Homo-oligomer: A and B are copies of this chain.
Amino acid sequence: MSAPSSRGFRVRALPGIGEIRPGDDLVAVIADAVAAAGEPLADGDILVVTSKIVSKAEGRIIRATDRERAITDETVRVVATRPTADGGITRIVENRLGMVAAAAGVDASNTDDGTVLLLPEDPDASARLIAAGLRERTGKLLGVLLSDTLGRPWREGQTDVAIGAAGVHVFDDLRGTTDAAGKPLLVTLPCVADELAAAGDLVKGKASGCPVAVVSGLGRLVGDLDLPGARSIVRPAERDLFRLGTDEAIAHGMAAGRSAGYSAGRAIGFAEGFAAALSAAERERVRV
């Protein structure tokens, strides 16, 4: 992290990207916007692309009336549920990409009325297509991240994270290196892809119609197109300490505990009842 190139970077929003329609060629759209902006892309630039416009270009649009079914279709596993202000239920689920996201990442904002957006079919593949196309068009060594906005446990609000990546190191692997005091940084694994997505959100904004940010000056994080994608950021549920919502986990435990406790209590109770009846019968016989 001490290379001069890493001492500073710039993040700019790419203006002039209009509404994206199914079938649009995002490589051409982005290249045109870059040309119109008057600042060409440079080696080591990283483009942070809002996944929403990739979904639109890929035609991942469905009728809003199918939203709940769409969430169910995208769901691998329900992690937790939360009542909404309007009396509905928000499902926080693990989706087919392994991501844990509210409503499985199905999105009803920035869409035409009556429609909702699904996440790209394969965000890492989409990022690779855009990165490869832009590298070919510009001859520059570029990285591409697809970003989405996620809430998180324990902290209010949302931050943008990387759900797709191509040509970018998603982790700045410090394991094996040492800190300034010479101690090994054993468990430190900064997720630079998520940090880049967060930086991009600071200029893209949700309402500004600027779905692409360009990060310049962090070329040390750019590499081959076959680097591990954002899928590698997802922690498998079986290794996750928070794989289930607290209420859901308590309910699971309750059910298991109740049946175990019932069997144990019934056996004890049977013995107690039997003994009580015998001593009652005994008293009777004595009276005779």
- Name A residues whose Cβ lies closer than 8 Å to a Cβ of B: 1-2, 6-13, 15, 19, 80, 82, 92, 99-100, 108-113, 149, 152-161, 171-172, 174, 177-181, 183, 185, 188-192, 194-196, 198-199, 201-203, 205-210, 218, 232-235, 240-247, 249-278, 281
Contacts and interface: CB of A to CB of B under 8 A. Distances in A.
Copy number in the complex reads 2
17 contacts: A7-B203, A149-B188, A153-B153, A153-B242, A159-B191, A159-B194, A159-B195, A190-B201, A192-B202, A242-B245, A247-B249, A249-B249, A255-B257, A257-B257, A261-B265, A270-B273, A277-B281
Contacts of A266: 265-266, 268-269, 272
Q: Which interface residue of A11, A255, A259 has the most chain B CB atoms within 10 A?
A: A11
Contacts of A174: 206-207
A286 to B, nearest CB: 13
B235 A156 contact: yes
A195 to B, nearest CB: 4
Contacts of A202: 6, 9, 192, 195-196, 199, 218
B158 A191 contact: yes
Given A8-B11, A202-B218, 11 more contacts: A9-B202, A80-B242, A110-B179, A113-B181, A158-B190, A180-B207, A241-B245, A242-B245, A253-B254, A261-B265, A277-B278
A183 B109 contact: yes
